[in-house]
Amino acid sequence: MGSASTTTPLPSSPIVSINPATGQPLGEVPDMGADEVRKVVASARAAQQAWGQLSIEARSRRVLRFAEVLMTRAEEVIDLLVREGGKTRLEALGMEVVLVADLVRYFTKHAAEMLAPVPVPLHLMKHRASYLHFTPRGVVGVIAPWNFPFSIPIGETMMALIAGNAVVLKPSEVTPLIAAKAREIYLAADLPPELFQIVTGRGGTGAALIDAGIDFCVFTGSVATGKKVAAACGERLIPCTLELGGKAPAVVCHDADLDRAAQAITWGGFANSGQVCASVERVYAVGSVHDQLVERIVREAKSLRQGDASAGGEVDVGAMAWDRQVDNVEKLVDAAVAAGAKVETGGKRKPGPGLFYEPTVLSGCRQDMDVMRKEIFGPVIPIMRVESEDEAVKLANDSHLGLLAYVFTRDRERGRRLAERIEAGTVMVNDVLNTYACPETPWGGVKQSGIGRTHSILGLRDMCETKHVNHDRVSLGREVWWYPYKDGTFKALLRGARLLFGKRPWQR
């Protein structure tokens, strides 16, 4: 009996999805094991063979249908995003549904051009020619986060399908029902069922997906988990794109439009309850405008309406999606206050059911505080006074993360100069967050914010194998450097090399 108990795996408990605004269960999904995941990947691989043989134009026409069905059923998706993700209805519409529909429209229109063969001019061997061509990788594994459970994984899924791949999606265990709704819409669009599949589960399911023989991995999540994913992919030589944490700084110059800066920073810090990898997570304000900026941000923050969007009524800031994240926010704010930061507004959990932390503005922050150095991922805006824009840039770069950054100034040239000095994958001038909604722009970070890029022509081509073809333009009997080696050939090549690569006659 004892021996049997050590060799027979215990059945894993199902995962229950919870409405974070009420604490009420919404449904449950299975915690799938390695054998189940392998079967799913195998069936996806079989379906990919025929799909990958279609032309890009044919695939694009079929994938476009997903956007059409999505918009007819947008209310269903929005309702579930509000209930499972704690979002407001406007955020669910703009940051999730519309974003995916636009991405699908954009890439189905431009993919054939983006993935067309690219000539590679040869500067020396003019009798030959080269070009690059892009072919599907096979099965793409997408491991998704809980903060944007629709737009992030489904955007990547649609790009992978357009590129000719199959996709197996592992959603976060915090928000698994959205993935099921996405596949429901996918099937309603009359796309091949096995081509896009979902495996649900906890961390072990994600590990099993990488181990199941996928050909490419797209991961979005924390730095700590991203390192594990990178290690697992590296061990198996699976290429991957990792979009990890952010600690986006906002540099506010002496000549900034303070009303615009305050409104942008408020939205950039509190949208989706601050659970955005690109959230404004620290503000460096030049001393001459610091006090006015703080006053304006506090006024904006106090006007926000926080609550359960699923209950009806107008809500600006919804619930946080995960109880552990609320604990993290509380810990960081309490530590900052203990170290001397001032709570200008907010600063605590909201009482009652649900996962709500008040929109919080902290002044008097210092660079050595954890609230200025560690990712908050909650509705908190810490602000620090600096002496100059140079100091602000230096502090902005004093981070192990580098996903997004923001600069506010009326001087466009100054804005561009400062933006180019900041160590981040994207720097926006006089705006926040929005470039994720631009499918033509690349998304990704430097330092520990990840590797690779999603969206844009770069992200689409990363969904493919880049292959090189070299062919003859002029037919020759033999190449001069082939066997047999001859002394005369050596001398002729040496003379030619000196003529081509040495000093020119007029330089001697």
The CATH number for 399's domain is: 3.40.309.10
Instruction: Dig out the tokens for 264 from the structure.
Output: 């942008």
Answer whether 273's CB lies under 8 Å from 322's CB. Answer: no
Residue 237 CA to residue 137 CA, distance in Å, equals: 13
pLDDT band at 11 (very low <50, low <70, confident <90, very high): low
Domain identity same for 194 and 118:
yes
Would residue 473 count as lying in a domain?
Answer: no
Domain identity same for 175 and 205:
yes
Q: What's the number of domains the chain is made of?
A: 2
Q: What is the dihedral of CA 432, 328, 145, 408, to 10 degrees?
A: 10
Would residue 481 count as lying in a domain?
Answer: no
Domain identity same for 65 and 204:
yes
Long-range contacts, 226-230 (Cβ 8 Å, 24+): 226/450, 229/143, 230/451
Q: What are phi and psi of 196, to 5 degrees?
A: -130, 115
Would residue 478 count as lying in a domain?
Answer: no
Domain identity same for 393 and 462:
no
pLDDT the model gives residue 59: 98
DSSP of 73-85: THHHHHHHHHHHH
- 359's CB contacts (< 8 A; 6+ apart) are 269, 270, 301, 304, 306, 317, 345, 346, 379
Would residue 421 count as lying in a domain?
Answer: yes
**pLDDT of 383-399, one tens digit each?**
999 999 999 999 999 99
**pLDDT of 188-207, one tens digit each?**
999 999 999 999 999 999 99
Q: Is the pLDDT of residue 495 over 90?
A: yes
Would residue 388 count as lying in a domain?
Answer: yes
CATH number at residue 231: 3.40.605.10
Domain identity same for 145 and 87:
yes
Containing structural domain, residue 52: 2-244+456-466
Tally Cβ neighbours within 10 Å of residue 379.
27
Tally Cβ neighbours within 10 Å of residue 207.
18
Q: Is the pLDDT of residue 320 over 90?
A: yes
Domain identity same for 145 and 66:
yes
Region 137-154: what's the mean pLDDT? 98
Domain identity same for 231 and 258:
no
In three-state secondary structure terms, 93 is helix
Domain identity same for 253 and 238:
no
Domain identity same for 233 and 264:
no
Domain identity same for 223 and 300:
no
Q: ∠ CA 183-209-276 to the nearest 5 degrees?
A: 65
Three state DSSP letters for 312-339: CCCCCECCCCCHHHHHHHHHHHHHHHHC
Residue 380 CA to residue 363 CA, distance in Å, equals: 11
Domain identity same for 262 and 387:
yes
Would residue 206 count as lying in a domain?
Answer: yes
pLDDT the model gives residue 1: 32
Measure the N-to-C terminal CA separation of the chain; round to a whole number of Å.
90
pLDDT band at 262 (very low <50, low <70, confident <90, very high): very high
Domain identity same for 254 and 399:
yes
pTM of the entire predicted model: 0.95
pLDDT band at 182 (very low <50, low <70, confident <90, very high): very high
Instruction: Dig out the tokens for 220 from the structure.
Output: 């979005």
Tally Cβ neighbours within 10 Å of residue 46.
13
- Mean pLDDT in the chain? 96
Q: ∠ CA 410-427-327 to the nearest 5 degrees?
A: 110
Catalytically active residues, by annotation: 243, 277
Would residue 483 count as lying in a domain?
Answer: no
Q: Is the pLDDT of residue 5 over 50?
A: no
